[in-house]
Amino acid sequence: MSGHRSSAGHASAGPAANGRTASRTSRISLAGEVVAAIHGLGAAAAAREEFTARFSKRSFGDAQNLPVVSLKDHAEDTLGALISRTLDFAPSVSAVRRVAQQNGLRLIREADGDQHTTQLTEASVQQTLAAAVGEAGALDGAELYLKVGRKVARIDV
Protein backbone atom coordinates (compact mmCIF):
# COMPACT_ATOMS: atom_id res chain seq x y z
CA MET A 1 0.00 0.00 0.00
CA SER A 2 1.55 3.30 -1.02
CA GLY A 3 1.02 6.66 0.58
CA HIS A 4 2.14 8.35 3.75
CA ARG A 5 1.91 6.79 7.19
CA SER A 6 0.15 8.69 9.91
CA SER A 7 1.39 8.63 13.49
CA ALA A 8 -1.03 5.77 14.16
CA GLY A 9 0.67 3.73 11.42
CA HIS A 10 -2.30 3.78 9.02
CA ALA A 11 -1.77 4.53 5.36
CA SER A 12 -3.19 7.84 4.27
CA ALA A 13 -3.51 9.48 0.90
CA GLY A 14 -0.58 11.54 -0.26
CA PRO A 15 -0.60 15.29 -0.68
CA ALA A 16 -2.15 15.10 -4.18
CA ALA A 17 -5.36 13.57 -2.83
CA ASN A 18 -5.74 16.20 -0.11
CA GLY A 19 -6.46 19.07 -2.51
CA ARG A 20 -9.45 21.32 -2.80
CA THR A 21 -11.82 18.55 -3.89
CA ALA A 22 -11.29 16.48 -0.76
CA SER A 23 -11.59 19.58 1.43
CA ARG A 24 -14.77 20.71 -0.32
CA THR A 25 -16.30 17.25 -0.12
CA SER A 26 -15.53 17.11 3.61
CA ARG A 27 -17.11 20.52 4.21
CA ILE A 28 -20.23 19.59 2.26
CA SER A 29 -20.54 16.32 4.14
CA LEU A 30 -20.06 18.01 7.52
CA ALA A 31 -22.61 20.69 6.66
CA GLY A 32 -25.13 18.01 5.71
CA GLU A 33 -24.59 16.16 8.98
CA VAL A 34 -25.01 19.34 11.03
CA VAL A 35 -28.21 20.33 9.22
CA ALA A 36 -29.57 16.78 9.62
CA ALA A 37 -28.76 16.73 13.34
CA ILE A 38 -30.41 20.09 13.98
CA HIS A 39 -33.28 20.19 11.47
CA GLY A 40 -33.78 16.55 10.37
CA LEU A 41 -33.00 14.49 7.30
CA GLY A 42 -35.67 16.13 5.12
CA ALA A 43 -34.24 19.59 5.70
CA ALA A 44 -30.72 18.30 5.01
CA ALA A 45 -31.84 16.78 1.69
CA ALA A 46 -33.62 20.00 0.70
CA ALA A 47 -30.57 22.09 1.60
CA ARG A 48 -28.28 19.84 -0.46
CA GLU A 49 -30.63 20.07 -3.48
CA GLU A 50 -30.71 23.86 -3.25
CA PHE A 51 -26.92 24.04 -2.90
CA THR A 52 -26.46 21.82 -5.95
CA ALA A 53 -28.97 23.80 -7.99
CA ARG A 54 -27.39 27.10 -7.07
CA PHE A 55 -23.68 26.33 -7.28
CA SER A 56 -23.19 23.28 -9.48
CA LYS A 57 -24.85 24.43 -12.67
CA ARG A 58 -22.77 25.06 -15.73
CA SER A 59 -23.61 28.08 -17.76
CA PHE A 60 -22.82 27.53 -21.41
CA GLY A 61 -22.90 31.30 -21.86
CA ASP A 62 -19.59 31.46 -19.98
CA ALA A 63 -17.95 28.95 -22.33
CA GLN A 64 -15.69 30.32 -25.00
CA ASN A 65 -14.95 29.01 -28.48
CA LEU A 66 -18.19 27.09 -28.89
CA PRO A 67 -19.19 26.36 -32.48
CA VAL A 68 -22.07 28.57 -33.57
CA VAL A 69 -24.96 27.64 -35.85
CA SER A 70 -27.33 30.29 -37.20
CA LEU A 71 -31.02 29.39 -36.98
CA LYS A 72 -31.62 31.68 -39.94
CA ASP A 73 -29.10 29.84 -42.13
CA HIS A 74 -29.89 26.29 -40.94
CA ALA A 75 -33.61 26.46 -40.10
CA GLU A 76 -34.55 23.81 -42.68
CA ASP A 77 -31.63 21.43 -41.92
CA THR A 78 -32.59 18.31 -40.02
CA LEU A 79 -30.93 17.91 -36.65
CA GLY A 80 -29.25 14.72 -37.89
CA ALA A 81 -27.67 16.48 -40.87
CA LEU A 82 -26.77 19.56 -38.85
CA ILE A 83 -25.05 17.52 -36.13
CA SER A 84 -23.27 15.05 -38.40
CA ARG A 85 -22.37 17.23 -41.38
CA THR A 86 -22.36 20.89 -40.37
CA LEU A 87 -21.07 20.57 -36.81
CA ASP A 88 -19.23 17.28 -37.36
CA PHE A 89 -20.23 16.15 -33.83
CA ALA A 90 -21.04 12.62 -35.05
CA PRO A 91 -19.83 10.51 -37.99
CA SER A 92 -23.35 9.89 -39.35
CA VAL A 93 -27.05 10.50 -38.86
CA SER A 94 -27.28 6.95 -37.46
CA ALA A 95 -24.72 7.88 -34.81
CA VAL A 96 -26.85 10.93 -33.91
CA ARG A 97 -29.87 8.61 -33.53
CA ARG A 98 -27.86 6.40 -31.15
CA VAL A 99 -26.92 9.44 -29.05
CA ALA A 100 -30.62 10.37 -28.88
CA GLN A 101 -31.55 6.79 -27.88
CA GLN A 102 -29.06 7.09 -25.01
CA ASN A 103 -30.64 10.42 -23.87
CA GLY A 104 -27.56 12.38 -24.91
CA LEU A 105 -29.26 14.81 -27.29
CA ARG A 106 -30.59 18.01 -25.70
CA LEU A 107 -31.65 21.54 -26.47
CA ILE A 108 -30.71 23.85 -23.61
CA ARG A 109 -32.24 27.28 -23.10
CA GLU A 110 -30.52 29.72 -20.75
CA ALA A 111 -32.19 32.91 -19.54
CA ASP A 112 -31.67 35.00 -16.41
CA GLY A 113 -29.30 32.44 -14.91
CA ASP A 114 -31.79 29.58 -15.30
CA GLN A 115 -31.46 26.56 -17.57
CA HIS A 116 -34.28 24.64 -19.18
CA THR A 117 -33.38 21.39 -20.91
CA THR A 118 -35.48 19.74 -23.59
CA GLN A 119 -34.59 16.10 -24.14
CA LEU A 120 -34.56 15.37 -27.86
CA THR A 121 -35.72 11.94 -28.98
CA GLU A 122 -34.75 9.67 -31.82
CA ALA A 123 -37.65 11.14 -33.82
CA SER A 124 -36.19 14.63 -33.25
CA VAL A 125 -33.18 13.69 -35.36
CA GLN A 126 -35.41 13.96 -38.47
CA GLN A 127 -36.93 17.31 -37.42
CA THR A 128 -35.68 20.58 -38.79
CA LEU A 129 -33.73 22.85 -36.49
CA ALA A 130 -36.56 25.41 -36.67
CA ALA A 131 -39.14 22.80 -35.60
CA ALA A 132 -37.03 21.58 -32.67
CA VAL A 133 -36.38 25.12 -31.47
CA GLY A 134 -40.07 26.01 -31.86
CA GLU A 135 -41.21 22.96 -29.87
CA ALA A 136 -38.78 23.80 -27.10
CA GLY A 137 -40.27 27.30 -26.93
CA ALA A 138 -36.84 28.80 -27.25
CA LEU A 139 -37.56 31.81 -29.42
CA ASP A 140 -38.00 34.23 -26.53
CA GLY A 141 -34.60 35.93 -26.52
CA ALA A 142 -32.85 33.32 -24.37
CA GLU A 143 -29.48 31.82 -25.26
CA LEU A 144 -29.89 28.46 -26.95
CA TYR A 145 -27.48 25.52 -27.07
CA LEU A 146 -27.48 22.11 -28.71
CA LYS A 147 -25.79 19.42 -26.63
CA VAL A 148 -24.74 16.18 -28.30
CA GLY A 149 -23.15 13.91 -25.72
CA ARG A 150 -20.41 16.12 -24.28
CA LYS A 151 -20.19 18.43 -27.29
CA VAL A 152 -22.02 21.74 -27.27
CA ALA A 153 -22.84 24.29 -29.95
CA ARG A 154 -24.53 27.67 -29.56
CA ILE A 155 -27.54 28.38 -31.77
CA ASP A 156 -27.92 31.99 -32.86
CA VAL A 157 -31.65 32.65 -32.85
Q: Domain count of the chain?
A: 2
Looking at the fold, whether 21 and 79 belong to one and the same domain comes out as no
What is the pLDDT averaged over residues 37-65? 74
Of the candidates 23, 33, 150, 137, the residue with the CA atom closest to the CA atom of residue 90 = 150
Work out the angle at residue 140's Cα, subtended by the Cα atoms of residues 138 and 146, and round it to the nearest 5 degrees.
30
Looking at the fold, whether 64 and 51 belong to one and the same domain comes out as no
Show the domain range for 93. 60-156
Looking at the fold, whether 68 and 100 belong to one and the same domain comes out as yes
Looking at the fold, whether 64 and 132 belong to one and the same domain comes out as yes
Domain end (from 55, 73, 93): 55
Looking at the fold, whether 64 and 37 belong to one and the same domain comes out as no
Looking at the fold, whether 141 and 98 belong to one and the same domain comes out as yes
Looking at the fold, whether 21 and 64 belong to one and the same domain comes out as no
Looking at the fold, whether 14 and 76 belong to one and the same domain comes out as no
pLDDT at 79: 97
What is the pLDDT averaged over residues 68-94? 96
Looking at the fold, whether 50 and 66 belong to one and the same domain comes out as no
CA gap 137, 140 in Å, rounded: 7
Looking at the fold, whether 21 and 34 belong to one and the same domain comes out as yes
Q: Which CATH number is 66's domain given?
A: 3.10.290
23-39, pLDDT tens digit by residue? 777 888 888 889 889 99
At 119, give phi and psi (nearest 5°): -75, 125
Characterise 13 by phi-psi region: left (phi > 0), alpha (psi -120 to 50), beta (else).
beta
Q: Which residues of 2-18 are buried (b: 16+ CB within 10 A; e: fewer)?
A: eeeeeeeeeeeeeeeee
Looking at the fold, whether 108 and 132 belong to one and the same domain comes out as yes
pTM beyond 0.75: the answer is no
Helix axis angle, 41-55 to 20-39, nearest 10° = 140
85-103, pLDDT tens digit by residue? 999 999 999 999 999 999 9
At 81, give phi and psi (nearest 5°): -65, -45
Looking at the fold, whether 51 and 84 belong to one and the same domain comes out as no
